[in-house]
Amino acid sequence: VLQKLQKLYPGIEFSLQKITTKGDRITDLPLPSFGGKGIFIKELETALLEREIDLAVHSFKDLPTDMEPELEITAVLEREDPRDVLVSRKGLKLAELPAGSRLGTGSPRRKAQLSSFRPDLRILDMRGNVDTRLSKIEEGLYDGAIMAAAGLLRLGRQNIITEYLSPEICTSPAGQGAIAVETRAEEGQLKNMIKTLDHLPTRIALEAERAFLTRLGGGCLTPIGALAKIEGSRLTLMGMIASPDGKVIFREKIEGSPEEAKKLGIYLAESMLKQGASAIIV
């Protein structure tokens, strides 16, 4: 975001202010045990409201569906690869891992889907940044880990990726791979500057995913995935809802016009609820 703004507006000085969130500080506990909506963004939004910063940069998937009314998502950058990936210590793919292999993840969504696909694996909690997770694999504490492709690609670490997981095996969370830029709603000139970063196809796809998530009304304990893609004049949206243990899992896909992104998200959610998914939403 900084590089893009400096290139577009060379006469304006931009600076970074690093803010550590609750989700970043607590790395020795599983997210569901202490987390909730906004654990990776609350401190940034407070700084925005108190005018300590002028814009906040978030991983879109960390944003709760109910935003602060005084703030708004002014731009969404073009999305990086939204898929999950396997980083395997011995270079084995997911289907090739021996029974009992230890896979690390801090995500209930990943845990449920992996347990459904390979119930013979041990899915263990794993927290920390990329280097921390990789060191745990190298030390032999885990045989591999499931991570977001986008994070590794942005860090230039694509060489460590063993396998890109199909959305039919591990559906991504709504917003994965996208970066959001948040500003105060009252801002005028600044908002107009930030809007030049907005990537409309990404924003439309995320609108469908968020509508799906909002209509389900699931909390952070329910494994839910949503992935939308625009190809030509059509938008496809895949939805996933699972029980935490992965023994019950619903998947469905819908296709329609990008202009009806929000309606498609709502329709898909209601369709899955009618099929029985409502019974496993916490």
Query: How far is the C-alpha of 218 from the C-alpha of 277, rounded, in Å?
Result: 11
Token couple for 218: 């699931």
Residues 6 or more apart whose CB falls under 8 angstroms from that of 259 comprise none
Catalytic residue among 24, 28, 62, 131: 62
Query: How far is the C-alpha of 114 from the C-alpha of 154, rounded, in Å?
Result: 25
**DSSP string for residues in 125-175:** E--S-HHHHHHHHHTTS-SEEEEEHHHHHHTT-GGG--EEPPTTTSPPPTT
Q: Does the annotation count 245 as an active-site position?
A: no
Token couple for 135: 């060191």
CA atoms within 13 A on the CB side of 18: 2
Catalytic residues: 62
